Amino acid sequence: MSGSNEILEEFVQGEYKYGFTSDIESDTLPPGLNEDVVRFISTKKGEPEFMLEYRLKAFRHWLTMKEPHWAHLHYPLINYQNISYYSAPKKPKEIKSLDEVDPELLRTFEKLGISLLEQKRLSGVAVDAVIDSVSVKTTFKESLSKLGIIFCSFSEAVKEHPELIKKYMGSVVPYTDNYFAALNAAVFSDGSFCYIPKGVRCPMELSTYFRINSAGTGQFERTLIIADEGAYVSYLEGCTAPMRDENQLHAAVVEIVSHADAEVKYSTVQNWYPGDKDGKGGIYNFVTKRGICLGNNAKISWTQVETGSAITWKYPSVILKGDNSVGEFYSIAVTNHMQQADTGTKMTHLGRNTKSTIVSKGIAAGKSNNSYRGLVKVNRGASNARNFSQCDSLLMGNNCGAHTFPYIEINDNSAQVEHEATTSKIGEDQIFYCNQRGIDTEKAIGLIVNGYCREVLNKLPMEFAVEAQKLLAVSLEGSVG
């Protein structure tokens, strides 16, 4: 199989395609973290008193915590005093139309293929573009507000909807939750806020593009999505980051609240800079994502395509509190070169007749390590809980690792829980079969990988599915298809 080896080789050599830096003047705080920095961020953003108190409480709690090291990840210690905690593009005045947006910024979006203009005109996707932590432009806000939908930057929500922020912020991921969540709560820069009122079905896919831009700036977004009774929303998050030499820390928090009969679908395509092929540079991605199905018949669905970041530490979870609630997790994680991913989900069954589905597809190449780590917990009294988990891993090449660490804790005898996992490589017979029919090895591998991931790709919204497929193709270009 020398042919496929060459192709693997090429994949392993393949360089990051989205490595460019856009020159936008930033208003950056010097590195370091103390209470003054927290106060500075809060003042800078003109936040009300309660927000500052929350940040300080979180910061003081963070000081008492230790960085977790249980994950199957190896990285040098992070010096939290070496990171700048605030960076905002200089924006002296409010922007009312796209013409006022920095043309350099617009070009950045164009390079990413998500020109706001085009998005606005053609696709009907409202984009809340976050560049280095501050929302620059929110589109379609007006048409959404007619339906009573609030979709804005987090800092705007803090000022304009403090009652919602007070009620829901930290209700799913409290600042005491874990080290990175505490850090985020203390220094979060900005993020998105979304509220769908009772019985409203959001007519379009809501989308945010995050970009990490300034060198050495940690980005700490916070996203809060609330779907009130009977509401529905599909939310997209997509990421690409420019090439950097030093490691950048990213610790985001995403909270989702789904009330009775509501449904939230959250899709992510993550393609941050993974570092070069020797493992130099790349983003450290420590994310806490959690949703709660608060009411009966609520539903939360996570779909993720993870191809970037040097380190991924991410476990989108669902707490199934309401009776008959449903949690889903579909994931594709691709690691190459020296990338390390430890990702999975947590499904906590509390209500009756709750259901959860986990489908995780890992692909490891180069010298990377790809781990699935998940927890399915059925509490006593969560009768007739049902879970199905499937975790498959594909190994490409002889220097990578694929691991599965599922935790299953069941305290109710009416639960029905299934878990299965397989690890294998692409069968030579499969490639041979394709070759025989005139499909060259590269395309054959592409075909097989695509088929392998299909189950998850199908769960992505239309616009995203195309992009994700492209992304897979790019990540695995000249390689695995």
Which residues make beta-bridge pairs with 371? Answer: 342, 403
Cβ distance to another protein smaller for residue 44 or 72: 72
Q: Of 119 and 317, which CB lies nearer to another protein in the complex structure? A: 317
Residue 254 CB, nearest distance to another protein (Å)? Answer: 26
* Closer Cβ to another protein, 17 or 74, answer by number: 74
- How many degrees, rounded to 5, is the angle at CA 97 between CA 91 and CA 103? 60
Q: Which is nearer to another protein, 398 or 436 (CB)?
A: 398
Distance of closest approach, residue 78 Cβ to another protein, in angstroms: 17
Which residues would be at the binding site for another protein (CB under 8 A)?
69-72, 74, 369, 380, 393, 395-425
Least Å distance between CB 416 and another protein? 4
For residue 15, the 8-state DSSP code is: P
Q: How far is the CB of 258 from another protein (least distance, A)?
A: 26
Do the beta carbons of residue 218 and residue 32 sit within 8 Å?
no
- What lies within 8 Å, CB to CB, of 380 at 6+ separation is 411, 412
Nearer to another protein, 21 or 422 (CB): 422
Do 308 and 283 contact (CB within 8 A), yes or no?
yes
Using only C-alpha atoms, what is the Rg of the chain? 22
Give one DSSP letter per residue of 121-146, joined into a string.
Answer: III--EEEEEETTEEEEE-SHHHHHT
For 38, the token pair is 């927290």
- What region does 350 belong to: left with phi over 0, alpha with psi -120 to 50, or beta? alpha
Q: How far is the CB of 368 from another protein (least distance, A)?
A: 11
With a CB cutoff of 8 Å and minimum separation 6, the contacts of 49 are none
User: Burial code of 270-292, b = ≥16 C-beta within 10 A, e = fewer?
Assistant: bbbbbbbbebebbbbbbbbbbbb
Residue 248: how many CB atoms within 10 A of its CB? 24
**Structure tokens given for 335:** 């690691």
Instruction: Select 1 or 95, whichever has its Cβ closest to another protein.
Output: 1
The neighbour count for residue 70, using CB atoms within 10 Å, is 8
- Minimum distance, C-beta of residue 336 to another protein, in the bound complex (Å): 14
Q: Which is nearer to another protein, 176 or 399 (CB)?
A: 399
Instruction: In angstroms, give the least distance from the CB of 70 to another protein.
Output: 7
Minimum distance, C-beta of residue 433 to another protein, in the bound complex (Å):
18
For another protein, give the closer residue by CB, 50 or 432: 432
C-beta of residue 260 within 8 angstroms of C-beta of residue 269: no
Smallest separation, CB 407 to another protein (Å): 5
Which CB sits closer to another protein, 118 or 418? 418
Shorter beta-carbon distance to another protein: residue 405 or 452:
405
Q: Which residues of 180-198 are buried (b: 16+ CB within 10 A; e: fewer)?
A: bbbbbbbbbbbbbbbbbee
| Shortest distance in whole angstroms from residue 377 CB to another protein | 9
CA–CA separation, 318 and 300 (whole Å): 7
